[in-house]
Chain A
Amino acid sequence: MSADHTRDPCPIVILNDFGGAFSMGVIGGCVWHGIKGFRNSPYGERGYGTISAIKSRAPVVGGNFGVWGGLFSTFDCSVKAIRRREDAWNAVIAGFFTGGALAIRGGWRHTRNSAITCACLLGVFEGVGMLVQRFTAQAPIAPAYPEDVKPLSA
């Protein structure tokens, strides 16, 4: 199987994922907290409320997304390097470690639960991705063979 060219090779892709997840979080956080700040401000203060909500909240959302994405990518690369194969289990294992690492300050139970939840979530993602791939793939078409050709009788 040829290598996956849509993503960059492993150690450097961590940087890409950090940046991509952070940007996604900041832009999404701008929209989310902009609307929230607008709706939660009194009339006359809505513009100010929007700006200040975006200023205080959007970078934090971006940071949370970025740390999650970067950690996940780091674990994904490590798992790939250790298992020496690329399949759906990589993402599940990486999700397990990511969820665990992010919750590690909350104690043993919290870490375990978070790791399992995260692994299940990633498993669902991978499963849905596989299903979509299967349904969008073109069905194989059987080659058209000629009818039974009788051997030439001498």
Chain B
Amino acid sequence: MNWFQSKDDNKLGFDPKQVEDVSTFLSNPQVMESAKLHPLAGLDKGIEYLDLEDEQLNSVEGAQGLIPSRNWSDDLCYGTGAVYLLGLGVGGAYGLQEGLSNLPPNSSGRLKLNTVLNHITKRGPFLGNSAGVLALTYNLIDSSIDAFRGKHDDVNSVVSGALAGALFRSSKGLRPMAYSTALMAGAASAWCGIKRLLQ
């Protein structure tokens, strides 16, 4: 049980020494403000049952990102999902443009539709898959470094980006590997900058 361990470092959201008996609690109700007790429970939306064990936010220092994350698997799923969807969308848009500019002349509407769809499904999944694999590797390495160092900062991000990029092109030779390492380290630092701006 986390309750007993966390009493001293005040993770409960209130100070247990302030609410020793009913009269102190009644005379000073702000001590146990519901929103402070648990951030994810949505206590302002009405009565809910609390499940404090399952819903602890990520406790690694500096790990609070744009959306609340509970642990490394949340980071992995959201990060990979967002990047994959982005790659799919960008690749699909590129394929749409390519398909529209390569329409076979004086053909039926069905053939035109098929051409465009073929171009979309050729470009979109390719870019999405590559971006998704990169994001997956990046998040796995990042979470490992976080757990190893006990904190999450920009250095971790850039290093894991570089490692992911190196691994991605590692079978193509040294020069492509260096390119993709630099590119991914750059992308990771850009992401860190964007996160700073948005927070």
A residues whose Cβ falls under 8 Å from a Cβ of B? 2-3, 5-6, 12, 14-20, 22-23, 26, 51-52, 55, 58-60, 62-63, 66-67, 70, 105
Flag if B54 contacts A19 (CB, 8 Å).
Answer: no
User: A22 CA to B80 CA in the complex, in Å?
Assistant: 8
Stretch at the interface among B5-13, B81-89, B147-155: B81-89
A94 CB to nearest chain B CB (Å): 17
List chain B residues, Cβ under 8 A from A66.
81, 84, 128, 132
Q: Which chain A residue lies CB-closest to B76?
A: A23
Interface size class of B (residues with CB under 8 A): 20 to 34
Flag if B49 contacts A22 (CB, 8 Å).
Answer: no
> B58 near A: Cβ within 8 Å?
no
Flag if A22 contacts B55 (CB, 8 Å).
Answer: no
> B156 near A: Cβ within 8 Å?
no
Flag if B129 contacts A70 (CB, 8 Å).
Answer: no
Flag if B77 contacts A5 (CB, 8 Å).
Answer: no
Flag if A23 contacts B136 (CB, 8 Å).
Answer: yes
Chain B interface mostly helix, strand, loop or mixed? helix
Q: Which chain A residue lies CB-closest to B70?
A: A8
Given A5-B55, A17-B77, A55-B171, 17 additional A-B pairs, CB 8 A: A6-B54, A12-B67, A15-B77, A15-B82, A15-B85, A16-B78, A17-B81, A18-B77, A20-B77, A22-B136, A23-B136, A52-B171, A58-B133, A59-B129, A59-B133, A60-B125, A63-B132
Flag if B55 contacts A63 (CB, 8 Å).
Answer: no
Flag if B130 contacts A16 (CB, 8 Å).
Answer: no
Q: Which chain A residue lies CB-closest to B79?
A: A19
Assuming the contacts A51-B171, A63-B125, asked whether A15 and B132 have C-beta atoms less than 8 A apart, the reply is no
Q: Mark B113-135, 1 if CB is under 8 A from A, else 0.
A: 00001000000010011101100
List chain B residues, Cβ under 8 A from A3.
48
Query: What are the 4 closest A-B residue pairs judged by CB atoms, nearest first?
Result: A19-B81, A18-B81, A19-B80, A19-B77
List chain B residues, Cβ under 8 A from A60.
125, 129
List chain B residues, Cβ under 8 A from A15.
77-78, 81-82, 85
User: A14 CA to B67 CA in the complex, in Å?
Assistant: 14
Flag if B82 contacts A19 (CB, 8 Å).
Answer: yes
B75 CB to nearest chain A CB (Å): 9
User: A2 CA to B51 CA in the complex, in Å?
Assistant: 11
> B74 near A: Cβ within 8 Å?
yes
Contact check: which of B51, B80, B117, B129 meets A23 at CB < 8 Å? B80
Flag if A19 contacts B78 (CB, 8 Å).
Answer: yes
List chain B residues, Cβ under 8 A from A51.
171
User: A67 CA to B88 CA in the complex, in Å?
Assistant: 10
List chain B residues, Cβ under 8 A from A26.
132-133, 136
Flag if B81 contacts A16 (CB, 8 Å).
Answer: yes
Q: Which chain A residue lies CB-closest to B82?
A: A15
Q: Which chain B residue lies CB-closest to A69?
A: B81
B90 CB to nearest chain A CB (Å): 14
User: A105 CA to B110 CA in the complex, in Å?
Assistant: 11
A86 CB to nearest chain B CB (Å): 15
Assuming the contacts A5-B54, A12-B67, asked whether A59 and B132 have C-beta atoms less than 8 A apart, the reply is yes
List chain A residues, Cβ under 8 A from B49.
2
List chain A residues, Cβ under 8 A from B117.
105
Of A14, A18, A20, most B-chain CB atoms within 10 Å:
A18
